[in-house]
């Protein structure tokens, strides 16, 4: 069934104009909610006396597989380099449309649809690395690339792509079979119609007509009835589509009015925001002044704390000085006793000095005596040495004399 090419433009405050197909109801809802979130209206803005309900015949498109990945597109100028389509990992989903029996890969980054690729049996998903895969879309005239956080997610996505591709191939084969059967029926009806006309022209009587042309006419009547029923159904479907188209136009008009109201409310919120911003700036100035005052107060507190600590230190020093003064007073009371003791000690010292002088004189005399004794010892040593030398000479002479006597005795 052909796709309704109805487009609507959305202008929401400072949000740029978006162009989308009303047939893609899920994409429309996602884009609209994203715009409201960016405008800051979702959760606090309500449409007054207006309830919007999307009664779209293509809303049967359901997600069958969802994952997250970084999206890339091939550079159209070089056809070699990859251009990132998303700043971060976004949701990538497989959608199945039961009315058209088709599959699509859709990914939305904020209010921007970055992937809208219908899967055909001719497509191929290629793994170029452990975490990256790509496929070419001839309708979009581009190549999409997905970077996954893990190899398992890439494998699951590739397996799902192959599964969806096989399903799309089966759906195409079935549609071709239906077209071939309908064309065969039309050809058979076309062949039987001239044979019946020939029979009626050759056989002129009514009996011959009834005998020869009866089955063909019955078949033609049944085919005509079927065509009439199909025509009636198609006309009813056309009316149904026209009513749905009209309802979509009305809903689009309501949506545009609601968006105009939202734009007006955005202006109101902008004014309130500017007023709040001014108040915020004033409050910030007051807060800064209070912070400065608090800083000064804190500094004064620190100074007071330092002074209190210094005062405590001085008090402790004063107590120590008082204790030292008391000790000095006690020592002052002991001074006379110490003076008397000092006098007695000085007398003893003088007596000791006299004794020391006497001892020094005795030491001098002893030293002189020791020196004299040393001199005498040296003289005695020299005399003893001389005596020993003389004695040695006498002993040698005696020895020689003895040897002479022994020789005389031997001779006799």
Question: Stretch 213-225: mean pLDDT, rounded?
Answer: 73
> Measured between alpha carbons, how far is 218 from 153 in angstroms, rounded to an integer?
61
DSSP lists the bridge partners of residue 127 as 133
Mean of the pLDDT values across residues 319-323?
A: 91
pLDDT for 91:
92
Mean pLDDT score of the chain, rounded to an integer? Answer: 77
**Cα 48 to Cα 51, 54, 259, 365, 395, distances in angstroms:** 8, 18, 11, 138, 160
Highest mean pLDDT among 4-18, 183-197, 225-239: 225-239
CA distance 357 to 347: 15
- The answer, as to whether pTM is greater than 0.75, is no
pLDDT of 78-107, one tens digit each?
Answer: 888 898 988 889 999 999 888 888 899 999
The pLDDT score that the predictor gives to residue 188 is 58
pLDDT at residue number 187: 58
Give the model's pLDDT for residue 205. Answer: 42
Split at pLDDT 50, 70, 90, the class of 71 is: very high
CB 97 within 8 A of CB 104: yes
Residue 232 predicted with pLDDT over 80 = no
* Residues linked to residue 8 through DSSP beta bridges, in sequence order: 20
Confidence class for position 152, pLDDT limits 50, 70, 90? very high
Mean pLDDT for the stretch of residues 108-129: 89
Q: Distance between CA atoms of 32 and 255, rounded to whole angstroms?
A: 10
Residue 319 clears pLDDT 50, i.e. is over it: yes
Average the pLDDT over 359-388 and give the result. 91
Mean pLDDT across 172-179: 79
> 7 — phi, psi (to 5°)?
-120, 150
Instruction: Report DSSP state, residue 258.
Output: H
Residues 151-155: what's their mean pLDDT? 92
- pLDDT confidence of residue 283: 92
State how far the alpha carbon of 311 is from the alpha carbons of 76, 99, 300, 320, 388, in Å.
82, 92, 16, 14, 96
Per-residue model confidence (pLDDT) at position 18: 36
Number of other CB atoms surrounding residue 286 within 10 Å:
10
What's the pLDDT at 186?
60
Give the torsion through C-alpha atoms of 103, 72, 134, 61, to 10 deg.
-10
- Work out the pLDDT band at 69, boundaries 50, 70, 90: very high
The whole-number pLDDT of residue 197 equals: 42
- List, in order of start, the domains of the chain with CATH numbers: 59-177 (2.30.29.30)
Please determine, for residue 294, whether its predicted confidence score (pLDDT) is greater than 80.
yes
More confident position, 189 or 161: 161
SS3 99: coil
Rg (CA), the chain: 64
pLDDT value for 191: 52
pLDDT of residue 184: 65
How far lies 316's CA from each of 302, 322, 325, 326, 364, in Å? 21, 10, 14, 16, 62
Tokens for 364, please give them: 């001098």
The model's pLDDT over 189-213, given as tens digits with 9 standing for 90+, comes to 555 544 444 434 334 444 444 444 4
Share of the chain above pLDDT 90, in %: 25
- Confidence at residue 247, expressed as pLDDT on a 0 to 100 scale: 81
CA 162, CA 248: separation in Å to the nearest integer?
36
Could you read off the pLDDT of 35-60 as tens digits, one per residue? 444 444 344 333 333 333 333 433 46
pLDDT confidence of residue 16:
33
Percent over 70 (pLDDT), the chain:
77
Of 15-29, 55-69, 129-143, minimum mean pLDDT range: 15-29
Q: What is the maximum alpha-carbon separation in the chain?
A: 219
Q: What was the pLDDT predicted at 183?
A: 66
């Amino acid at each position: 069934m052909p796709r309704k090419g109805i487009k609507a433009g959305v202008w929401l405050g400072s949000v740029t104009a978006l162009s989308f197909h009303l047939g893609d109801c899920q994409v429309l809802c996602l884009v609209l909610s994203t715009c409201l979130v960016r405008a800051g209206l979702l959760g606090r803005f309500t449409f007054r006396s207006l309830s919007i309900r999307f009664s779209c015949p293509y809303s049967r498109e359901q997600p069958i597989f969802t994952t997250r990945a970084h999206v890339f597109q091939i550079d159209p100028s070089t056809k070699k380099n990859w251009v990132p389509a998303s700043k971060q990992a976004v949701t990538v989903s497989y959608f199945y449309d039961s009315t058209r029996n088709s599959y699509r890969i859709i990914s939305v980054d904020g209010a921007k649809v970055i992937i809208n690729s219908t899967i055909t049996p001719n497509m191929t998903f290629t793994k170029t690395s452990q975490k990256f895969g790509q496929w070419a879309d001839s309708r979009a005239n581009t190549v999409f690339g997905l970077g996954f956080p893990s190899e398992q997610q890439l494998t699951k996505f590739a397996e799902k792509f192959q599964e969806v591709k096989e399903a799309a191939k089966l759906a195409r084969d079935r549609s071709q079979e239906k077209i071939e059967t309908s064309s065969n029926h039309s050809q058979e009806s076309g062949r039987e119609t001239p044979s019946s006309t020939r029979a009626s022209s050759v056989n002129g009587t009514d009996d011959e007509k009834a005998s020869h042309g009866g089955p063909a006419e019955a078949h033609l009547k049944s085919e005509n009835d079927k065509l009439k029923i199909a025509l009636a159904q198609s006309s009813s479907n056309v009316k149904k589509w026209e009513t749905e188209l009209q309802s979509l136009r009305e809903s689009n008009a309501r949506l545009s009015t609601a968006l105009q109201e939202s734009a007006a409310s955005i202006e109101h919120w902008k004014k309130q925001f500017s007023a709040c911003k001014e108040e915020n700036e004033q409050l910030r100035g007051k807060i800064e002044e209070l912070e400065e005052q608090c800083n000064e107060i804190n500094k004064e507190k620190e100074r007071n704390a330092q002074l209190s600590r210094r005062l405590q230190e001085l008090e402790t020093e004063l107590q120590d000085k008082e204790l030292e003064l008391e000790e000095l007073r006690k020592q002052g009371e002991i001074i006379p006793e110490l003076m008397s003791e000092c006098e007695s000690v000085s007398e003893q010292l003088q007596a000791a000095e006299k004794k020391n002088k006497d001892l020094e004189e005795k030491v001098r005399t002893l030293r002189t005596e020791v020196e004299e004794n040393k001199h005498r010892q040296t003289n005695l040593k020299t005399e003893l040495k001389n005596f020993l030398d003389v004695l040695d000479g006498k002993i040698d002479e005696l020895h020689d004399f003895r040897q002479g006597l022994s020789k005389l005795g031997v001779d006799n």
